[in-house]
Amino acid sequence: MPHPSVKWSVSAIPLIAAVLLQTVAPAVGAQPAAGPVRAIPVAQGLENPWAVAFLPEGRFLVTERPGRLRVVEADGRLNPPVAGLPWVAAGGQGGLLDVVLDRGFASNRTLYFCFSEPAPAGAAGNSTALARARLSEDRTRLDDLRVIFSQRPKVASSLHFGCRIVEGMKDGRPDGTLFLTLGERFQRMQDAQTLDNHHGKVVRVGKDGSVPRDNPFVGRAGALPEIFSYGHRNPQGATLGPDGRLWMHEHGPQGGDEINLPQPGRNYGWPVITFGEQYGGGRSAPASPPGAGMEQPLHHWTPSIAPSGMAFLTSNRYGSAWKGSLFVGSLKFQFLNRVELSGAKVVREERLLGDLGERIRDVQQGPDGYLYVLTDNPKGRLMRLVPP
């Protein structure tokens, strides 16, 4: 067997049967058994919620994958969908996905969201797009909507959109940029290794959609200038670490979900090397050495946990032992994973909320220092995590 720190080539591992899980949704309002945290329902009846952001006065902004954006009152009441969204190609894994507020939201009311954007009328396909808009003072509509980035090319697929947004920082200060994670659309996996497309990439753009001059491929012939890193599969979690570095995770094929710290211009290996098991592949020798110039992950999960959402805890709400931990939702095994770190090394993992029996789609730290999670169900919930 290869050393555990070396990824396998995708053709190097036998195909195994996918893990099948049968889950039973709990009754609305059901609570997990007492443990390290309790999940207190804040809102319910959300249709496949995907992301949560925190508005002033205790309100929440939540995306629903079918294509709705909702303001949730502090008491949990759901308002009618916010008007003014673009046409969303909802279906499969596509729809209205991540949303974040601009750091200056209190004064400019600007927000950013990403979604599966259909091709223009008369054309086929879709792709991940990033838009900015202003939320009206009464929180009922989006004004000044503008799509500032569209993944190229558009393809006919309902899979692997990626779509997490992170506002960038440099030298400890906001630098006016946005990171956006992009999936390789499943059947276009080989695109993740070439620079003439946006499939399987992390891109970095200005808040107006411009290309930052210090992006790693600016001026390189045959490379799209928005690209920051490449060789990714389907990244559905990203966040800034306490030191301002970008962290992300991505789905492996059958095993090999990864945590990575993307660096400018680096290649993260997909589909050449992976800890997972490629669909339909045969058996051959493991990659040795792993692909030249390709980065190894900081951490991987095999079997896959199907990660989604990602947040660092910086508050003291849960005691000093949890401060600095990284939290990642699991869709497949329906738990919240607490990842304890020593620098950039994983030293311990703890599974939380397993008694909920619900897919964890997003996790965020709120302005009050508590963690909040979204459960991905037709009647999904927004929940606050509190100490027992």
Identify any residues that bridge with 327 across adjacent strands, giving them in sequence order: 311, 338
pLDDT confidence of residue 291 = 59
Considering the candidates 160, 198, 199, 300, report the single residue annotated as catalytic.
Answer: 160
- Residue 167 dihedral angles phi and psi, to the nearest 5°: -80, 125
- Nearest in space to 344 (alpha carbons), one of 233, 262, 279: 262
Query: Cα(49)–Cα(381) distance, rounded to whole angstroms?
Result: 8
Residue 156 Cα distances to 88, 159, 234, 296, angstroms:
14, 9, 16, 31
287, 6 Cβ separation under 8 angstroms: yes
DSSP H/E element including 105: helix 105-108
pLDDT confidence of residue 159 = 98
Pairing of strands 49-54, 60-64: antiparallel
- What is the value of pTM for the model shown? 0.90
Q: Which amino acid is at 4?
A: P
> pLDDT in tens for each of the 388 residues of the chain?
344 445 655 444 333 333 323 232 332 233 333 358 999 999 999 999 999 999 999 999 999 999 999 999 999 999 999 999 999 999 999 999 999 999 999 999 999 999 999 999 889 999 999 999 999 999 999 999 999 999 999 999 999 999 999 999 998 899 999 999 999 999 999 999 999 999 999 999 999 999 999 999 999 999 999 999 999 999 999 999 998 999 999 999 999 999 999 999 999 999 999 999 877 664 333 343 555 689 999 999 999 999 999 999 999 999 999 999 999 999 999 999 999 999 999 999 999 999 999 999 999 999 999 999 999 999 999 999 999 8
Confirm whether 160 is a catalytic residue: yes
pLDDT confidence of residue 16 = 32
- State the number of CA atoms in the 13 A half-sphere of 269 facing the CB: 29
Query: Cα(179)–Cα(263) distance, rounded to whole angstroms?
Result: 12
What domains are defined for the chain?
A: 34-386 (2.120.10.30)
Query: Cα(9)–Cα(292) distance, rounded to whole angstroms?
Result: 12
